[in-house]
Amino acid sequence: MDFELTPEQKAFREILRAFVEKEILPVAIEWEHAGRYPTEIIEKMKQMGLFGLSVPEEYGGMGADMVSFALVFEEIARGWMGVAGTIGSHSLACWMIARHGTDEQKRHYLPDLAGGVRRTAIALTEPGAGTDLQGIRTRAVRDGDVYVVSGTKTWITNARHADPLPVLVKTSITEPAHKGMSVLLVDPALDGFSVGRDLPKLGYKGTETCEVTLDEVRVPVSAVLGGVEGRGLQQVLGGLELGRINIAARAVGVAQAAYDAALAYARERTAFGQPIAEFQAIQLKLADLATEIQAARLLTYWAAAQADGGKRVDMEAGMAKYFASEVALRASLESMRIHGGYGYSQEFVVERLYRDAPLMAIGEGTNDVQRMVIARALISGKGKLGW
């Protein structure tokens, strides 16, 4: 049993940390409050090959193992969680195309996606369907060699930059509902496709989150992911395992940033003639945070390592996402308490972490859904505790 990263993973982590320290941390507070899009940071990420994380090497990507994948999101989220979002849904969509796409779809899209020449996202959620994806209403009706697609998607990260945009639709009305669901790789230049307003958010700023409307968009039949109807939900659910490792890793990064800020402040801030780090009440908070963050990190790396071994990781990714996101929530609040009034100030990083943390408890399936996934795996016998 080995709890160490490989030499290659350690070297990769050091490159990521240096990037975050140099390119993200110096501007994150100012740009986040100004609502500024992190264009320069994204260009550097393209140069580093990070848009090709989940693209196989044969198509010009990094073909990263899942532990390295988690390291990317942990380190970038430690600097600014919104920036991590620019490659989050992109990486999930790239993985889906690489795993399920036809040979032609892979050749057409993956090389440009790997280099960031194209960017992508994924459109699942609708105004009336989030957790219950089988309840989506976006329809794709066959008309010769095209589908006529109508519907509305919401909470779409990278919506203004996605080309193509994988869209979950109903290509037929059948029971069970999942048999009539497909993913279409939609060209945003098609008539009837429009990106609406940017949704105002508590946190997770830097990247855009938008509404997308499809009004009788005529999408070629060749755009069906994998070339076969009716497999969309399975394709998406497989990708969401990757997405939950992504969210778990982001949560670890946010929690680590909150802890780092709290520890540094506790050492510097004095009260009653001594640093507040000398007070037992503060020490207990720091001890709890450090322990919980390390447990969250190990759960996340464990889930990633299991995925690297070729396993389905519904339960493992669910555990990591659930636990790590709850830790991020607690860490950001406890860090704010340690900072006192300064933690509530926009001049300190803690208030941003406090606003960013709740997304991880909601995104990629709420934590209540994760608990249900975990429980079902245990009850069915498919999931077991231990190694």
| DSSP per residue, 211-227 | EEEEEEEEEEGGGBGGG
Alpha-carbon distance 186 to 24, whole Å?
32
Judged on CB neighbours under 10 Å (0-12, 13-18, 19+), 158 is buried
The pLDDT assigned to 130 comes to: 85
**pTM, rounded to two decimals:** 0.96
Question: What is the C-alpha to C-alpha distance for residues 242 and 300, in angstroms, rounded to an integer?
Answer: 11
Identify whether residues 372 and 280 lie together within a single domain. yes
| Residues assigned a catalytic role | 364
> Do residues 149 and 287 both lie within one domain?
no
Confidence at residue 189, expressed as pLDDT on a 0 to 100 scale = 97
156 and 182 share one domain:
yes
- Please indicate, yes or no, whether residues 335 and 268 belong to a single structural domain of this protein: yes
How far apart are alpha carbons 222 and 146 in whole angstroms?
8
First to last CA, the chain: 9
Q: What's the CA gap between 168 and 340, in Å, rounded?
A: 45
CATH code of the domain in which 242 resides: 1.20.140.10
Of 190, 119, 131, give the one whose Cα is nearest residue 159.
Answer: 119
Residues 97 and 36 in one domain: yes
DSSP state of 55: S
pLDDT of the residue at 192 = 98
pLDDT tens, position by position, 33-69: 999 999 999 999 999 999 999 999 999 999 999 999 9
Three state DSSP letters for 228-284: CCCCHHHHHHHHHHHHHHHHHHHHHHHHHHHHHHHHHHHHHCEECCEEHHHCHHHHH
The closest alpha carbon to 334, from 277, 270, 255, belongs to 255
| Tokens 């992504």, residue located | 246
**Does residue 387 register a pLDDT over 80?**
no
Averaged pLDDT for residues 76-80: 98
pLDDT band at 190 (very low <50, low <70, confident <90, very high): very high
pLDDT of 131 reads 85
**Is 265 part of any domain?**
yes
Q: Cis peptide leading into 176, omega within 30 of 0?
A: yes
Domain boundary among 66, 84, 115: 115
pLDDT above 90: residue 223: yes
At 385 the pLDDT is 81
Residue 256 to residue 293: CA distance in whole angstroms: 7
Beta bridge partners of 186: 165
CATH number of the domain within which 50 lies: 1.10.540.10
Do residues 87 and 202 share a domain?
no
Evaluate whether residue 164 is within a structural domain: yes
Q: Is the pLDDT of residue 289 over 80?
A: yes
Mean pLDDT, to the nearest integer, of 94-107?
Answer: 98
For residue 126, is it within any domain?
Answer: no
Do residues 368 and 293 both lie within one domain?
A: yes
Region 77-102: mean pLDDT is: 97
The string of pLDDT tens digits covering residues 324-370 is 999 999 999 999 999 999 999 999 999 999 999 999 999 999 999 99
Identify residue 320 by its one-letter amino acid code: A
Which DSSP string do the residues of 273-325 spell out, in sequence order? TEEGGGSHHHHHHHHHHHHHHHHHHHHHHHHHHHHHTT---HHHHHHHHHHHH
Q: For residue 38, tell me if it sits in a domain.
A: yes
Residue 175 has pLDDT above 90, yes or no: no
- Residue after which a domain boundary falls, among 115, 142, 175: 115
* Residue 218 sits in the same domain as residue 239: no
Q: Same domain for 326 and 198?
A: no
pLDDT above 80 for 299: yes
Domain containing 28 equals 7-115
Q: How many domains does the chain divide into? A: 3
Domain co-membership, 244 together with 336: yes
Q: Specify if 1 maps to a domain.
A: no
Q: What percent of the chain has a predicted confidence (pLDDT) above 70?
A: 99
The answer to whether 48 touches 115, Cβ cutoff 8 Å, is no
Q: Which pLDDT does position 176 carry in this prediction?
A: 83
> Are residues 194 and 184 in contact, defined by beta-carbon separation less than 8 angstroms?
no
Averaged over 243-271, what is the pLDDT?
Answer: 98
Average pLDDT over residues 86-105: 97
**Which band of pLDDT confidence, cut at 50, 70 and 90, is reported for residue 200?**
very high
Q: How confident is the model at residue 179 (pLDDT cuts 50, 70, 90)?
A: confident
Whether 2 has a pLDDT exceeding 90, the answer reads no
- Looking at residue 122, what is its pLDDT? 97
Judgement on whether residues 346 and 248 belong to the same structural domain of the protein: yes
Q: Which of 230, 250, 273 is the last residue of a domain?
A: 230
Give the least confident one: 134-138, 263-267, 295-299. Answer: 134-138
Q: What pLDDT score was predicted for residue 217?
A: 98
Q: Which residues pair with 169 in a beta bridge?
A: 182
The chain-wide mean pLDDT, for the chain, equals: 96
Q: What is the DSSP string of 193-210?
A: EEEEEEPP-SS--SS-EE
Closest CA to 233 of 304, 140, 136: 136
132 has pLDDT over 80: yes
- Any idea what the Cα angle at residue 86 is, between residues 84 and 87, rounded to 5°? 75
d(CA 291, CA 279): 19
In a domain, 125, yes or no: no
* CA Rg value for the chain: 21
d(CA 302, CA 311): 12
Same domain for 177 and 248, yes or no, is: no
In a domain, 61, yes or no: yes
